[in-house]
Chains A and B, each alone.
Chain A
């Protein structure tokens, strides 16, 4: 079946701009996760949704980052006033229930110039 999909695959933006990154989880998966992976590092947790609500947003680095999942399926990660340090690969994962194995999407590579 279809896996987790993310769009765009690549995003180049200028410092100070606003960006949105989209994640389509596996159909039927209630839990959705966002991670950020910098070069040479493992993925770093950002936020977790159970259904429509953010159950844990403790990994968001600051208030420029927020994410929504209004209908409990697709999620959008939004970054305001982007900075060069935001450059990374942003990964999305989903799982059937919140204690199950997480399946990852291909990621969006964000480059802030």
Chain B
């Protein structure tokens, strides 16, 4: 079964710093990839997704992620973070024939004003 690894458990940045959160998955076949965000006290919201096509995916709020098939990675990036980006970020994977979404353990991002 596929698994998802998020290497950073807690990241602390100052405003305007650049962000990259790592995500690696173990499944070797075709995958669908997602990044979800959970702001304090709120529910999971979709940031961006990759199903096929251009491996550089742009999402909401200035986030983007790059699918690198050879590295089994789907890292999340943002050039300049804001205090309002403080949240928990989850990487997730599904496969075309398997509907259970596998999540990483999450990365908590704290942006200092």
Contacts and interface: CB of A to CB of B under 8 A. Distances in A.
Interface of A: 3, 31, 33, 35, 40-45, 48, 55-56, 58-59, 91, 93, 98-99, 101-107
A101 B33 CA distance: 10
Nearest to B1: A58
B100 A101 contact: no
Interface of B: 4, 32, 34, 36, 42-46, 49, 90, 92, 94, 96, 99-106
A45 B102 contact: yes
Given A42-B4, A42-B104, A98-B99, 17 more contacts: A3-B43, A40-B105, A40-B106, A42-B92, A42-B106, A43-B44, A44-B103, A45-B100, A45-B101, A48-B100, A56-B99, A93-B44, A101-B34, A103-B46, A105-B43, A106-B42, A106-B43
